[in-house]
């Protein structure tokens, strides 16, 4: 047992929109004026939302496994059917890793499975993520990300199709799309050196030197 207590009855996990609204408060507390944001999955969604709301505070974004769309009814039906035969933790693992990774069960998969077993709020977190709204991304206009963006996804990732679709909605003059070979579902874990190198070139392209 982890010793971590479950959330109180009636507790509602904050939505991704609510978490995005907290980012300015965190930056103010830290006395940070602008950021180059790096986010994965839900974190990428939150940072993209923040950049849409506060474009002057975001110099650039590195977004890994971003799915900008609200889940459709087919996603809802698939989750319901899968929920009949799989636990919430297994659904989360299937969301994070490719089927090949789940079959091989490398250390990152095993470690996360163990951590999820001791986490008391996975059901609330999963429900919150699947109730997200649509970012409403556009190549221009109010729904456009106005900063340089490095969009990253692993080859064979569960998020590959969503990332490709997301790339089509971003300004091509501001966006670099990196599909990492052998990156799997979590390229920041499986290919950290390659992602670090890509990040270095990304910030250099923004005008920052080594």
Mean pLDDT of 129-142: 92
Say whether pLDDT at 161 is over 60: yes
Percentage of residues of the chain with pLDDT beyond 90? 67
Backbone angles phi and psi of 79, in degrees to 5: -65, -40
pLDDT for 182: 86
Checking if the pLDDT of 84 tops 70, the result is: no
Structure tokens at 9: 């009855």
Picking from 59, 31, 66, the residue whose alpha carbon sits closest to that of residue 160 is 66
pLDDT value at 76 more than 60: no
Q: Average the pLDDT over 52-73 and give the result.
A: 92
Alpha carbon distance 63, 204 (integer Å): 17
Backbone angles phi, psi at 100, to 5 degrees: -65, -40
So where are the chain's domains?
A: 15-69+134-210, 71-131
Angstrom distance (rounded) from CA 153 to CA 162:
9
Which of 3.40.50.1820, 3.30.465.10, 3.30.1330.10, 3.40.50.170 is the CATH number of 15-69+134-210?
A: 3.40.50.1820
Least confident of 20-24, 54-58, 98-102: 98-102
| Confidence at residue 10, expressed as pLDDT on a 0 to 100 scale | 78
pLDDT over threshold 60, residue 3: no
Residue 74: pLDDT band by 50, 70, 90 thresholds? low
DSSP 140: S
How much is the average pLDDT of 121-144?
Answer: 90
State the pTM of this model.
0.88
Question: What pLDDT, on the 0 to 100 scale, is given for residue 82?
Answer: 53
- What is the tens place of the pLDDT at every residue in 169-199? 999 999 999 999 988 999 999 999 999 999 9
Residue 97 is classified by DSSP as S
Q: Where are the beta strands (DSSP E) in the chain?
A: 35-40, 58-64, 149-154, 175-180
């Amino acid at each position: 047992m982890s010793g971590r207590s479950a959330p109180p009855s009636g507790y509602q996990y904050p939505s991704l929109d609510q978490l995005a609204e907290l980012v300015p408060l965190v930056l103010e507390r830290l006395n940070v004026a602008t950021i180059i944001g790096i986010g994965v999955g839900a974190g990428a969604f939150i940072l993209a939302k923040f950049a849409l709301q506060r474009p002057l505070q975001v110099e650039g974004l590195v977004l890994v496994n971003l799915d900008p769309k609200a889940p459709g009814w087919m996603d809802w039906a698939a989750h319901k059917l899968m929920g009949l035969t799989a636990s919430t933790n297994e659904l989360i693992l299937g969301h994070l890793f490719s089927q090949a990774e789940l079959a091989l069960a490398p250390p990152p998969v095993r470690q996360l499975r163990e951590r999820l077993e001791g986490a008391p709020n996975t059901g609330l977190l999963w429900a919150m993520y699947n109730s997200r709204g649509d970012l409403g991304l556009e190549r221009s206009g109010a729904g456009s990300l106005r900063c340089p963006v490095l969009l990253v996804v692993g080859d064979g990732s569960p998020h590959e199709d969503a990332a490709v679709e997301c790339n089509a909605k971003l300004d091509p003059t501001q966006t670099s799309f990196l599909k990492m070979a052998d990156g799997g579902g979590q390229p920041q874990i499986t290919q950290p050196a390659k992602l670090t190198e890509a990040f270095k070139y990304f910030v250099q392209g923004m005008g920052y030197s080594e």
